[in-house]
C-alpha cells in the first residue's frame, strides 16, 4: 500500500469546524452537509464507520455508499444501555449498514438483540495486535525508575470515569499499604487528570506511581515489559487492545468482571477478575497477583502468549476484515 498523503493535503478545502467534542447524536446533524460533500467528492466504494451513535450514524444518514458499521464496544455495551435514544439510534444505524464489525461475542449478541439483524451480517473477531512488537522481555525503564525489586502494576486506560480511574487509584492505595513493594505505572491522560494528581498528593503515594503522560506507540512495548502485571478497572469492555497487548507480553491480568473480559481471562488460570467499581475487590486482586510464585507466573506468561498467538494475531485476523468489506459491498449490489 502507498503512503497516506499529509493531513494538510487532505484538509485544505475543508472549512474549519468547532473543536467541541461530539457527545450526542444530534451534535452530528450540523456536520452532515460537509460530510455529504466529502462523500460526494470522494465517491468511496465503502465507508467503515463507528462508533454507532456518531460516525456510524452520520454514514447511515448519508446513505451514499455501502456502510460497514464498526462497533467500538462501549457504543453497544454502555451508550446503548444508558437511555432509549442511544439504543434506538444504534439499532437504526445497524439496520442501514450492510455489515457489522465487532471485537467480541458479547457485543455481537447485544447488537443483534438491539437491531434484529441476523448473525450472518456480523463479523466478529478481536482487532488483533502486532505480536512482533508486543512480546515478553526486559526493559531499561525498570532500572531507570529504581524499581528492580518492586512489583510493578501497569494500567493503560485513559483517565476517564468510564475506565474506572478512581477505582485504580484507591485499589492501589489499599494494596500498597499491605504490600510496600507495589508500584503503579500509569501512562496516559484524560479529563480526570486533576483528580488523579490531587489523589496522589493527598494520600502521599506520589513516589510509588509513575505517570509519564501520553507515550508514543513505538515505546508502548517498553512499558509492558517493565510491568509484572496488568490492571484495568473499566466499567465497559469488549476485547480491549491494551489487554491483548498485556497478554502478548506475558503479563497476568486483573480486570473488571465483564462478559468481554471473561472471553480472555479465566480466574486463577491466567489472571483474576474483580467487580467493576469495587476498589476493595481490586485491591484483593492486586495482592493475589503480587503473591503469585515465580513458577506460576512463568506458566501464565506462556499460556497468555500462546492464547494471543492463536486468537489475536493481526496478520492472521486482517483477512477477516477484507472479507467483511466484500460481504458489505455484495449486499449493497444485491439490492
Report the C-alpha gap between 317 and 323 in whole angstroms: 10
Domain-located, residue 135: no
The reply to whether 108 and 153 lie within a common domain is: no
Cβ atoms of 235 and 164 closer than 8 Å: yes
Looking at residue 2, its pLDDT comes to 33
State the DSSP code for 12.
T
Q: Measure the CA angle with vertex 302, ends 299 and 210; round to 5°.
A: 90
What range does the domain containing 61 cover? 7-128+315-334
For residue 19 the three cell numbers come to: 473543536
Are 319 and 302 contained in the same domain? Answer: no
Of the candidates 230, 271, 228, which has an alpha carbon nearest to the alpha carbon of residue 139? Answer: 228
2, part of any domain: no
Residue 133 lies in a domain: no
CB contact at 8 A, 250 and 271 = no
Q: CB of 66 within 8 A of CB of 96?
A: no
110 in any annotated domain? yes
In a domain, 134, yes or no: no
pLDDT of 18 reads: 54
User: Same domain for 97 and 242?
Assistant: no
Phi, psi of 229, deg, nearest 5: -160, 160
Could you give the CA distance from residue 220 to residue 218 in angstroms, rounded to a whole number?
6
> Do residues 230 and 209 lie in contact, with contact meaning Cβ atoms separated by under 8 Å?
no
* All cell numbers assigned to 195: 483528580
β-strand partners of 154: 185, 230
Could you tell me the pTM of the whole model? 0.85
Residues 32 and 79 in one domain: yes
Q: Are residues 307 and 319 located together in one domain of the fold?
A: no
Per-residue model confidence (pLDDT) at position 24: 86
Q: Are residues 184 and 242 in the same domain?
A: yes
Please tell me the predicted confidence (pLDDT) of residue 4: 33
Are 148 and 289 members of one domain?
Answer: yes
Q: How many domains does the chain contain in total?
A: 2
Task: Encode the chain (335 residues) as per-residue pLDDT tens digits.
Answer: 233 333 333 333 444 455 567 778 999 999 999 999 999 999 999 999 999 999 999 999 999 899 999 999 999 999 999 899 999 999 999 999 999 999 999 999 999 999 999 999 999 999 889 999 999 998 999 999 999 999 999 999 999 999 999 999 999 999 999 999 999 999 999 999 999 999 999 999 999 999 999 999 999 999 999 999 999 999 999 899 999 999 999 999 999 999 999 999 999 999 999 999 999 999 999 999 999 999 999 999 999 999 999 999 999 999 999 999 999 998 877 76
234 and 195 assigned to the same domain: yes
Q: Do residue 306 and residue 322 come from a single domain?
A: no
Q: CATH number for the domain including 259?
A: 3.40.50.2000
Q: For strand 253-256 and strand 67-70, is the pairing parallel, antiparallel, or unpaired? A: unpaired
In a domain, 41, yes or no: yes
Question: Helix, strand, coil proportions of the chain in percent (round to 5)?
Answer: 55, 10, 35
Residues 276 and 146 in one domain: yes
Candidates 245, 270, 272, 240; CA nearest to 257 is: 272
DSSP H or E segment with residue 230: strand 229-232
Q: Which of 259, 247, 241 is nearest to 105 (CA)?
A: 259
Rounded to whole angstroms, the Cα distance separating 97 from 113 reads: 15
Residues 40 and 188 in one domain: no
Residue 194 within a domain: yes
Query: Residues 164, 305: one domain?
Result: yes
Is position 329 within any domain? yes
Amino acid at each position: 500500500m502507498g503512503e497516506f498523503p499529509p493531513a494538510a493535503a487532505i484538509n485544505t478545502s475543508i472549512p474549519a469546524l468547532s473543536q467541541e467534542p461530539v457527545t450526542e447524536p444530534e451534535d452530528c446533524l450540523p456536520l452532515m452537509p460537509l460530510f455529504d460533500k466529502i462523500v460526494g467528492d470522494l465517491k468511496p466504494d465503502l465507508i467503515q464507520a463507528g462508533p454507532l451513535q456518531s460516525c456510524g450514524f452520520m454514514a447511515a444518514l448519508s446513505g451514499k455508499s455501502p456502510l460497514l458499521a464498526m462497533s467500538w464496544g462501549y457504543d453497544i455495551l454502555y451508550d446503548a444501555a444508558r437511555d432509549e435514544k442511544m439504543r434506538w439510534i444504534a439499532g437504526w444505524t445497524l439496520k442501514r449498514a450492510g455489515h457489522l464489525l465487532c471485537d467480541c461475542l458479547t457485543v455481537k449478541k447485544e447488537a443483534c438483540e438491539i437491531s434484529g439483524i441476523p448473525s450472518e451480517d456480523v463479523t466478529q473477531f478481536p482487532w488483533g495486535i502486532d505480536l512482533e512488537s508486543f512480546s515478553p522481555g526486559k526493559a531499561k525503564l525498570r532500572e531507570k525508575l529504581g524499581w528492580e525489586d518492586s512489583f510493578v502494576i501497569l494500567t493503560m486506560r485513559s483517565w476517564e470515569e468510564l475506565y474506572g480511574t478512581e477505582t485504580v487509584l484507591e485499589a492501589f492505595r489499599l494494596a500498597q499499604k499491605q504490600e510496600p513493594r507495589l508500584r503503579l505505572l500509569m501512562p496516559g491522560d484524560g479529563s480526570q487528570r486533576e483528580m488523579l494528581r490531587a489523589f496522589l498528593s493527598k494520600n502521599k503515594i506520589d513516589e510509588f506511581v509513575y505517570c509519564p503522560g501520553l507515550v508514543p506507540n513505538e515505546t508502548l512495548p517498553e512499558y509492558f515489559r517493565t510491568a509484572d502485571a496488568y490492571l484495568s478497572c473499566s466499567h465497559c469492555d469488549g476485547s480491549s487492545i491494551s489487554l491483548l497487548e498485556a497478554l502478548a507480553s506475558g503479563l497476568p491480568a486483573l480486570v473488571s468482571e465483564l462478559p468481554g473480559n471473561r472471553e480472555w481471562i479465566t480466574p486463577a488460570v491466567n489472571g483474576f477478575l474483580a467487580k467493576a467499581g469495587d476498589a476493595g475487590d481490586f485491591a484483593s486482586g492486586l495482592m493475589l497477583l503480587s503473591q503469585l510464585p515465580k513458577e506460576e507466573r512463568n506458566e501464565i506468561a506462556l499460556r497468555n502468549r500462546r492464547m494471543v498467538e492463536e486468537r489475536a494475531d493481526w496478520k492472521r485476523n486482517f483477512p477477516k476484515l477484507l472479507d467483511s468489506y466484500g460481504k458489505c459491498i455484495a449486499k449493497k449490489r444485491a439490492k
